Amino acid sequence: MSSAAERSVEGTSTGEPGKGVRATAKSIYKFTRPHTIRGTILASLTGVARALIETPTAVELRLIPRAIMGMLALLLGNAYIVGINQIYDVDVDRINKPFLPMAAGEMGKKAAWAVVLTSMICGPLIVSQLFSPVIMGLYCFGLVIGGLYSVPPFQTKRNPFLAGLTIACVRGFLLNFGVYYAVKEALGIPFKWNRAVIFLARFMTVFAGVIAVTKDLPDVEGDKQYNISTFAVRAGVARIANAACIVLGLNYVSAIVEAALVPAFNKAIMIAGHSAFALYLYRARTKLQPDSKESVKAFYARIWDLFYLEYLLYPFI
């Protein structure tokens, strides 16, 4: 059964296995893990917005199709990484995430592999045709380490440190740097680091590391049964939730301090926004009941809320 918290993260309820085009589309949608798709879309849109704010005179309508195809390539990469994880995690997902389409029996292994392989082929093909070898290299590197996270015998997810490093690298640095670099490249403007891009790449790498740890909080039961030694399994839900809040809280403090000290930032937006986010995090932790799986899922959903909010703030900092 899926709770309101699960639906807030996944964007859909479990539902009964169905037939026809609508049921197939719904299963594929769930298979792509909608909460991660939303994060990828926000990262893409706000990365483009940031680059265009810096160089508004370089905007041309002919670049819109390229931008759309670039976002499609990112979504295909996202689908490949989360999809291959579900293929190899289907048994443990029947315990931890029974609402996912493979675990729920809504999607068979052949269909899952079809989605994953299509994504793996089409994503790099799009990037190779529209972007430079640098972007292609970053994209393929993300696919490789994202695949090694799930594929035996590597399965870096079984090592908490490597799992966190993988997610932090893909969703933190590669995504945010890659989008900004690709937009500058499309506009014909030489890439140059600026404070906002450096801030986001650094901040979201830390944030993605927090997500890498907190994502395992609701999955302790199944992870224990299948000998997956996550930080949550080793230290317990309460301790890991506290540690995650401390790290993310310090991340917010660093953003506030950086805004106060660096003239390049919009101080009012940076300080007010991150102060509000820190308060939201504090309230989320006070509501967490470590022994309640529903409460833990709700806490994890709130972490993703903060992830989305950071991207909405980004163009204005």
CA dihedral 39, 220, 296, 149 (to 10 degrees): -10
Report how far residue 150's alpha carbon sits from residue 81's, in angstroms, rounded to the nearest whole number.
8
Architecture of domain 21-192: Orthogonal Bundle (1.10)
What digits encode the pLDDT tens for the residues 78-102? 999 999 999 999 999 999 999 999 9
Secondary structure (DSSP) of 181-203: HHHHHHHT------HHHHHHHHH
Per-residue model confidence (pLDDT) at position 93: 93
Residue ranges of the chain whose pLDDT lies below 50? 1-8, 10-18
Per-residue model confidence (pLDDT) at position 8: 43
Q: Which residues contact 232 (CB under 8 A, 6 or more apart)?
A: 213, 216, 217, 219, 220, 223, 240
Return the number of other C-beta atoms located less than 10 Å from residue 127's C-beta.
Answer: 26
Buried b (16+ CB within 10 A) or exposed e, 266-283: eeeebbebbeebbeebee
End-to-end CA distance of the chain: 41
Per-residue model confidence (pLDDT) at position 68: 87
Per-residue model confidence (pLDDT) at position 57: 73
pTM of the model: 0.86
